[in-house]
Chains A and B, each alone.
Chain A
């Protein structure tokens, strides 16, 4: 039963979140809608549908039979993340590294937090290097080189060719970005 409850957890969470958003949607209104459907109708309709489907999911998980996946039609959809088959043998549970995942999430969040402060160049270089090392790539020299060249190429392409205004950072970090921009002829 505990396994089934665990399996149904995503549906419970989605149900709760939908309920919360439905409460928020109650407050959406527009003056003068009269007999017409208001701006709250569409989101409310889908929130109700979402809650209904979650209830079905919960019911199916708790009280339904466990089904074997259909070999052909359970094939991953084109482009879905689950579509990564990568040649791993089927049936064998793959070893998971939750600490690596946590480290990856922290790195990504740190990258965003420091994006404006460090500027694109320093932040991206540091992130790429740290991410490669976290991903168990142990050739430090190659990792530093790839991160440096990759960051510079991206900086040049997006700032000079595609004209995207990437952040240069706050002083003193901005000095590095400005120096590199001068070097690359970016105005």
Chain B
């Protein structure tokens, strides 16, 4: 424990170096702007910032992206509460109580609750990340190739199962991502696969190209088809300010804070159950177990605190498997993993031994990011939401420009520009036909690791595939992966059973009445 505190202290000193501090502040501001704008998602923002990190050292670039990630979970709250525009999907539950509270003439109070919720969720998540990372990393040192394969499979299945929407569509998206990762020269045998004689394809398809194309260009095309018609601003009226709740008010909501933090952290650690799910689940939990559950939806602080605490609390949870196992649990952490790989570093248990200064600098930057984002929200929100007045056509043109430069900078080849346009159209088609993009991105990033660990296991264990089930850790993780995959089916059955029970109850009541 003392070691952790010592390293964390050193991390803080490291973060206070000028380049890191500048990256942190820029990340916070940009993350908040991205979250405020309904046309830009948090993940898209992190993707678009990636090319700017090429010239930075690895710690600075991860600090920048992590700061964007953290402040992105908070920025959208302002537009949800004040204008009824959720900047991010995670902010949708804030519409149900935040906006009504603002309409009741208490926008400053609603913003104050959000600020305190983000601060609490953020600090708790940082503490959890710091405390869990080392035990996680020690545990991960026992991993061999079958265990890595099992963990990647668990990541895949839970992202597919918990990501929302159709399981079939999510699986197709995932398989497509894994197949895209097979393009190029095969690592084990050195043979060309799906290169069609194009020299640049022998190096494979960069995951950056897939991410930038599908998230950036695809999103712009989808919104262009809708004519760039963002909702007009309907301000809640009054002066935009933040009023911090009193200690007594905060104490009254202690159970909500505790419940939602737990939901957020758990949803963070499980790959796939990102901030959006956490935000909705926390609101759902509050509506079932909250002291004022019957008043939810009328503009009470409980309905603001629960989703905000939970969504910010997922960040640290996501960072733990990312840093210790190299497994991203969300779209944003997938991009951060991409940044690690671009700088030639594969996150995993050994990172704690070899690059502990960097790891603890990242943790320290998370603490500072949480505090910084709250200060930023408190003092500069009036200025930040002016970005909402930017015409969508202008932001979209800039998004395309970011995408093009991002893709071109990686390898300086025009083929990558063609590829981002192809993936852009694919991203649009995914959106149009309700296929999720996140599984494809994870597939393309983790596909090589999955294949390498699978093939190496097969070579080491003479093609005995039961090795994945026989070894205790990999067997357990594979079992969890199967459970995760069966979860949507189970959920469907439970809902059906619940509906049938409700139907039977209604029938009984009607019979009793007659």
Chain A residues with a Cβ under 8 A of chain B: 10-11, 14, 21, 24-25, 28-30, 33, 35-43, 46-47, 49-50, 53-54, 56-57, 60, 70, 72-88, 94-98, 100-101, 104-105, 108-109, 111-112, 115-116, 124, 127-128, 131-137, 143, 146-147, 150-151, 154, 157-158, 161-166
Cα(A11)–Cα(B96), bound, Å = 37
Determine if B41 and A150 form an interchain contact, defined as CB atoms under 8 angstroms apart.
no
Determine if A85 and B86 form an interchain contact, defined as CB atoms under 8 angstroms apart.
yes
Determine if B38 and A85 form an interchain contact, defined as CB atoms under 8 angstroms apart.
yes
Closest chain A residue to B421 by CB distance?
A: A108
Determine if B227 and A77 form an interchain contact, defined as CB atoms under 8 angstroms apart.
no
Within 8 A of A (CB), among B310-364: 330-332
Interface segment, one of B106-114, B198-206, B217-225, B243-251: B217-225
Closest chain A residue to B283 by CB distance?
A: A72
Name 16 interchain pairs, CB-CB below 8 A, sorted by A.
Answer: A10-B429, A39-B193, A70-B495, A74-B164, A76-B164, A78-B332, A79-B44, A81-B218, A86-B39, A104-B225, A105-B425, A116-B414, A132-B391, A135-B224, A135-B396, A162-B54
Closest chain B residue to A47 by CB distance?
A: B179
Cα(A85)–Cα(B230), bound, Å = 10
Could you say which residues of chain A place their CB within 8 Å of the CB of B455? 37, 41-42
Could you say which residues of chain B place their CB within 8 Å of the CB of A49? 171, 175
Residue from the list A42, A86, A128 in contact with B454, Cβ < 8 A: A42
Could you say which residues of chain A place their CB within 8 Å of the CB of B288? none
Determine if A77 and B193 form an interchain contact, defined as CB atoms under 8 angstroms apart.
no
Residue from the list B86, B188, B330, B437 in contact with A39, Cβ < 8 A: B188
Could you say which residues of chain B place their CB within 8 Å of the CB of A80? 41, 163, 331, 431, 436-438
Nearest first, the 9 A-B pairs at minimum CB distance are A135-B393, A79-B43, A79-B331, A30-B189, A87-B231, A87-B85, A137-B393, A78-B274, A39-B186
Could you say which residues of chain A place their CB within 8 Å of the CB of B55? 161-163
Determine if B225 and A101 form an interchain contact, defined as CB atoms under 8 angstroms apart.
yes
Closest chain B residue to A139 by CB distance?
A: B391
Determine if B408 and A79 form an interchain contact, defined as CB atoms under 8 angstroms apart.
no
Determine if A95 and B222 form an interchain contact, defined as CB atoms under 8 angstroms apart.
no
Could you say which residues of chain A place their CB within 8 Å of the CB of B186? 30, 39
* B42 interface residue per 8 A CB criterion: yes
Could you say which residues of chain A place their CB within 8 Å of the CB of B451? 42
A contacts with B: majority SS: helix
Determine if B217 and A108 form an interchain contact, defined as CB atoms under 8 angstroms apart.
yes
The verdict on A53 contacting B227 (CB below 8 Å), with A81-B430, A83-B89 known, is no
- Scoring A25, A79, A109, A136 by chain B CB atoms within 10 A of each residue's CB, the highest score goes to A79
Determine if A54 and B276 form an interchain contact, defined as CB atoms under 8 angstroms apart.
no
Residue from the list B179, B224, B397, B436 in contact with A21, Cβ < 8 A: B179
The verdict on A86 contacting B85 (CB below 8 Å), with A79-B332, A81-B214, A128-B397 known, is yes
Interface membership of chain B positions 69-100, coded 1 if the CB is closer than 8 angstroms to chain A and 0 otherwise: 00000000000000111101110100000000
Residue from the list A43, A135, A162 in contact with B409, Cβ < 8 A: A162
Cα(A56)–Cα(B489), bound, Å = 14
B200 nearest CB across to chain A (Å): 14
B347 nearest CB across to chain A (Å): 19
B contacts with A: majority SS: helix
The verdict on A112 contacting B215 (CB below 8 Å), with A95-B227, A101-B225 known, is no
The verdict on A146 contacting B394 (CB below 8 Å), with A81-B427, A85-B89 known, is yes
Determine if B225 and A78 form an interchain contact, defined as CB atoms under 8 angstroms apart.
no
Residue from the list A77, A85, A94, A115 in contact with B438, Cβ < 8 A: A77
Determine if A124 and B164 form an interchain contact, defined as CB atoms under 8 angstroms apart.
no
Determine if B431 and A43 form an interchain contact, defined as CB atoms under 8 angstroms apart.
no
Chain B residues with a Cβ under 8 A of chain A: 38-39, 41-44, 51-52, 54-55, 83-86, 88-90, 92, 163-165, 168-169, 171-172, 175-176, 178-179, 182, 186, 188-194, 214-215, 217-231, 274-277, 280-281, 284, 330-332, 391-394, 396-398, 400-401, 404-405, 408-409, 412, 414, 417-418, 421, 424-425, 427-431, 433-438, 451, 454-455, 458-459, 462-463, 488, 491, 495
Determine if A33 and B189 form an interchain contact, defined as CB atoms under 8 angstroms apart.
yes
Cα(A184)–Cα(B444), bound, Å = 39
Residue from the list A70, A108, A143 in contact with B424, Cβ < 8 A: A108
A119 nearest CB across to chain B (Å): 13
Closest chain A residue to B465 by CB distance?
A: A37
Could you say which residues of chain A place their CB within 8 Å of the CB of B194? 21, 24-25, 43
The verdict on A101 contacting B224 (CB below 8 Å), with A84-B38, A128-B397 known, is yes
B457 nearest CB across to chain A (Å): 10
Determine if B431 and A81 form an interchain contact, defined as CB atoms under 8 angstroms apart.
yes
Residue from the list A50, A60, A79, A127 in contact with B42, Cβ < 8 A: A79
Could you say which residues of chain A place their CB within 8 Å of the CB of B90? 78
Could you say which residues of chain A place their CB within 8 Å of the CB of B404? 111-112, 115, 124
Residue from the list A77, A94, A104 in contact with B165, Cβ < 8 A: A77
B334 nearest CB across to chain A (Å): 8
The verdict on A128 contacting B401 (CB below 8 Å), with A50-B176, A85-B89, A146-B394 known, is yes
A47 nearest CB across to chain B (Å): 7
The verdict on A78 contacting B275 (CB below 8 Å), with A53-B175, A136-B393 known, is yes
Cα(A84)–Cα(B85), bound, Å = 11
Determine if B171 and A53 form an interchain contact, defined as CB atoms under 8 angstroms apart.
yes
Cα(A87)–Cα(B491), bound, Å = 28
Cα(A127)–Cα(B48), bound, Å = 18
Determine if B41 and A84 form an interchain contact, defined as CB atoms under 8 angstroms apart.
yes
Determine if B190 and A135 form an interchain contact, defined as CB atoms under 8 angstroms apart.
no
Could you say which residues of chain B place their CB within 8 Å of the CB of A137? 391, 393-394
The verdict on A37 contacting B463 (CB below 8 Å), with A77-B438, A79-B437 known, is yes
